[in-house]
Amino acid sequence: MKGNEAIAEAAIRAGCDGYFGYPITPQSEILEYLMEVKPYEKTGMVVLQAESEVAAINMVYGGAGCGKKVMTSSSSPGISLKQEGITYIAGAELPCLIVNVVRGGPGLGTIQPAQSDYFQAVKGGGHGDYRLIVLAPASVQEMADFVELGFDLAFKYRNPAMILSDGAIGQMMEKVYLKPQKERSTEIFPWATTGKPASRERNIITSLELDSKKQEIFNHKLQEKYRKIEENEVRFEEFQTEDAEYLIVAYGSSARISQKAIQIARAEGIKVGLLRPITLFPFPKKRLNEIAGKVKGMLSVEMSAGQMVEDVMLAVCGKVPVQHFGRMGGIIPTPEEVVENLKSKLIGG
């Protein structure tokens, strides 16, 4: 199954209430798959092709405000269009899932895989002080698994969650274990707009506050929530870090390439390990700082000009040298290139 199809099928099985999308390469299979299998006949899940990415994310906003499990997906240029809606959703504290199958940019860029939307996903993207919960799958299995995880985290914190994938994982075919069909939830959330019964006050979904003092109090509340997410939801995976003298930090496709690079390097006697952040926000800062005390240097491998490397540097606080290696524009680095750069940028010679 393709990564994109795994997302679509996992959404149906997770009991998703609504998907609102707009075609863009390399993620159109998500909407195509859903239209093909017609979950609206099976589970009652709403699937709608919107007139634009802007409309799609605002449909997600409307559905999320009703307490429904709703999602959208797109690729880089489309995700830029969705930023308005995403910041409103974050500001209104609503849960939803957004999938970005990243392609090379800027602008219309290429349709090949890239990881150049890291800043946009992790640092904000839209206006205002807000964060997304960002999950980075490295396999088709994780594409499927992170749909349910993304929804769970989104509802736990009433915050939008994003799956930050790339064109390689979206298009790649792998075996995948899918969970059995879950019933769609009938839970009515106390904050959701479902029609005001006499028993409660009216519910208002808004991100507007004209009183700046109240807005600041709200901003503090949001920041507290993000700190709580940082305390509780950091996820990462380590590979051969026990005896490592050097550490590669890489997520998604780059992490898979780096695993291969580590095999090559270790065959040459270089003790190198991998830390793969699974959550990009919250970022595994603490663990990186611990490892910084044990290794001689770190290399951030990304399909970008160097975005995550800034967070690695912040995490290690200057304890060890941190370098970056990346390819851009839809080019996927080879494991050999990674080893070469590990040698030239960190080991020397």
Partner 1 sequence: MSEQFDPKTIIKEENLTYKKTEVMTDNTLSYCPGCGHGTAHRILAEVIDESGLQEKTIGVCPVGCSVLMYNFLNIDMQQAAHGRAPALATAIKRLLPDNFVFTYQGDGDLAAIGTAETIHACNRGENILIIFINNGIYGMTGGQMAPTTLPGMKSSTSPHGRDVSIMGNPLKMTDLVANLPGTYYVTRQSVHTPAAVRKTKKAIKKAVEYQQANKGTCFIEIVSNCPSGWKMTPTQSNKWMEEHMFPFYPPGDFKVPQE
Contact residues: partner 1, CB under 8 A: 17-18, 20, 46, 48, 50-52, 54-56, 58-63, 65-66, 68, 70, 84-85, 88, 92, 193-198, 202-208
Cα separation, 321 vs 301, in Å, equals: 14
303 in Cβ contact with 279 (< 8 Å): no
Min dist. Cβ of residue 82 to partner 1 (A): 11
194 in Cβ contact with 130 (< 8 Å): no
Residue 276 has a CB neighbour count (10 Å cut-off) of 22
Residue 282, preceding peptide bond in cis (omega within 30° of 0): yes
Task: Write the DSSP string, 11-39.
Answer: HHHTT--EEEE---TTSTHHHHHHHHH-H
Q: Give the list of residues 6+ apart from residue 245 with CB closer than 8 angstroms, or none.
A: 270, 271, 272, 295, 296
Min dist. Cβ of residue 160 to partner 1 (A): 14
Give the distance from CA 176 to its chain's centroid.
19
Q: Which is nearer to partner 1, 62 or 335 (CB)?
A: 62
Instruction: Give the 3-state secondary structure of residue 70.
Output: strand
Min dist. Cβ of residue 20 to partner 1 (A): 7
326 phi and psi angles, rounded to 5 deg: -155, 155
Min dist. Cβ of residue 256 to partner 1 (A): 36
Q: Write out the E strands in 114-176.
A: 133-135, 160-166
Burial class of residue 237 (count of CB atoms within 10 Å of its CB; 0-12, 13-18, 19+)? middle
Cα separation, 175 vs 314, in Å, equals: 37
Question: Which pair of structure tokens corresponds to residue 19?
Answer: 């998907």
Min dist. Cβ of residue 199 to partner 1 (A): 10
Q: Which is nearer to partner 1, 57 or 172 (CB)?
A: 57
Q: Which is nearer to partner 1, 40 or 119 (CB)?
A: 40
Q: Which is nearer to partner 1, 67 or 333 (CB)?
A: 67
Min dist. Cβ of residue 206 to partner 1 (A): 4
Q: Which is nearer to partner 1, 94 or 328 (CB)?
A: 94
Q: Which is nearer to partner 1, 65 or 150 (CB)?
A: 65
Min dist. Cβ of residue 196 to partner 1 (A): 5
Q: Which is nearer to partner 1, 126 or 167 (CB)?
A: 126
Min dist. Cβ of residue 117 to partner 1 (A): 21
Closest CA to 157 of 85, 58, 236, 90: 90
Q: Which is nearer to partner 1, 17 or 302 (CB)?
A: 17
296 phi and psi angles, rounded to 5 deg: -90, -20
